[in-house]
Amino acid sequence: MTAPSLSIVVPCYNEEACLTELHGRLSAAARELGDASYEIILVNDGSGDRSWEMMRALAAGDPHVVAINLSRNHGHQLALTAGLDLCAGARILIIDADLQDPPELLPEMMAVMDRQQADVVYAVRRARAGETAFKRATAKLFYRGLSKLAEIEIPLDTGDFRLMSRRALDALLSLPEQARFIRGMVAWVGFRQVPIVYDRAERHAGRTKYPLSRMVRFAFDAVTGFSTAPLRFASHIGLWLVAASVLLLIYIAFAFLTGATIQGWTSLMLVVVVLGAVQMFVLGMIGEYLGRLYIEAKRRPLYIVSDIAGHAGGHPSLGHVAHEAETIAASDTPGGNGSRPIA
């Protein structure tokens, strides 16, 4: 089978209520292009609901659908990476499962890519419906803070919703890191990247899979992945503190010589508390980098695939895994037995 001209890659975590609608609208958008050779890669990121059963059913009923089951929840960015690794298309659309990103934008993205000879067409959020004021405010702050810190230019208010050329995707997949902030990594890759603006819809169904704790971790991955400014900030604080302590030393010596050394509980406490806090903060910041360095040093595979349902696509590695997965399905053993790492 030859490679399709378009791959649509969708990471899914507990999205049973969205999948049918998603499949319908993605298929309609792909057919709109007038080219039958597309594939829809649904990645089940260890859902606890019926997402995987539904994906299998979709793959059984539609030869365009490939369903990939990860061995557990690996997180949004790694699930997306799994789908990107295994897709075969000449162009690749990344889209969320919850239909916040409208599939109907696809023809326009294709047209912009053609017209502007672009390698990446990324979708910039103008409005965000149905999201809490807190999420909108923190997201806004985050993208602006990141662009101040990052050593490359990362587009503002842009998620992973984008269309990419094969060479841009291959370049992206050559970046090996575990802590993946894909929207930043795509920016790092370069080539010609152009924005289109859209209004982000409300979730079709279900709840966000990004509670505050995950948002914070995602933000740390972004900052540590694209900036060493916090580390420089640590050394700058250190320098200022050294300067301040020289002044303090002079004052201490003066107080000692003049015999006025008994008072000063307040200033002493102030110094202890402030210094303690600054030290812990800086240490924590260094720890964030060190922890990530440690994880990277282990060189573990990014994710583990347990089953694949649907056609084998044009991709050599997918063909291999799909074959293996069919064997698993045929012998009806649980997917876990067939697990194999795909790095």
Residues that bind ligand UDP (CB under 6 A): 11-13, 15, 45, 73, 75-76, 79, 96-98, 100, 208-210
By CB under 5 A, name the binding residues for Mg ion.
96, 98, 100
Quote the least distance from Cβ 291 to Mg ion, whole Å.
27
Comparing CB distances to ligand UDP, the nearer of 116 and 132 is 132
- Residue 67 bridge partners (DSSP): 42, 309
Comparing CB distances to ligand UDP, the nearer of 13 and 143 is 13
Quote the least distance from Cβ 138 to ligand UDP, whole Å.
11
Q: In terms of C-beta density within 10 A (0-12 exposed, 13-18 middle, 19 or more buried), how is residue 58 classed?
A: buried
Q: Which of 79, 65, 72, 145 is nearest to 313 (CA)?
A: 65
Q: Which does 75 bind (CB under 5 to 8 A by kind): Mg ion, ligand UDP, none?
A: ligand UDP
Q: Which does 12 bind (CB under 5 to 8 A by kind): ligand UDP, Mg ion, none?
A: ligand UDP
Comparing CB distances to Mg ion, the nearer of 139 and 229 is 139
Quote the least distance from Cβ 101 to Mg ion, whole Å.
8
Q: Which does 89 bind (CB under 5 to 8 A by kind): ligand UDP, Mg ion, none?
A: none
Q: Which of 326, 314, 301, 303 is nearest to 41 (CA)?
A: 314
- Residue 305 bridge partners (DSSP): 70, 340
For residue 340, give the 3-state DSSP assignment. Answer: strand
Comparing CB distances to Mg ion, the nearer of 85 and 96 is 96
Quote the least distance from Cβ 316 to ligand UDP, whole Å.
25
What number of other Cβ atoms are within 10 A of residue 312's Cβ?
A: 18
Q: Which does 184 bind (CB under 5 to 8 A by kind): ligand UDP, Mg ion, none?
A: none
What number of other Cβ atoms are within 10 A of residue 323's Cβ?
A: 11
Contact 42, 230 (CB under 8 A): no
Comparing CB distances to ligand UDP, the nearer of 80 and 234 is 80
Contact 17, 52 (CB under 8 A): no
The span from the CA of 342 to the CA of 85, in Å, is 9
The span from the CA of 267 to the CA of 285, in Å, is 27
| Phi and psi at residue 244, to the nearest 5° | -65, -40
Comparing CB distances to ligand UDP, the nearer of 72 and 192 is 72
Quote the least distance from Cβ 64 to Mg ion, whole Å.
23
Quote the least distance from Cβ 325 to Mg ion, whole Å.
28
Q: Which does 223 bind (CB under 5 to 8 A by kind): Mg ion, ligand UDP, none?
A: none
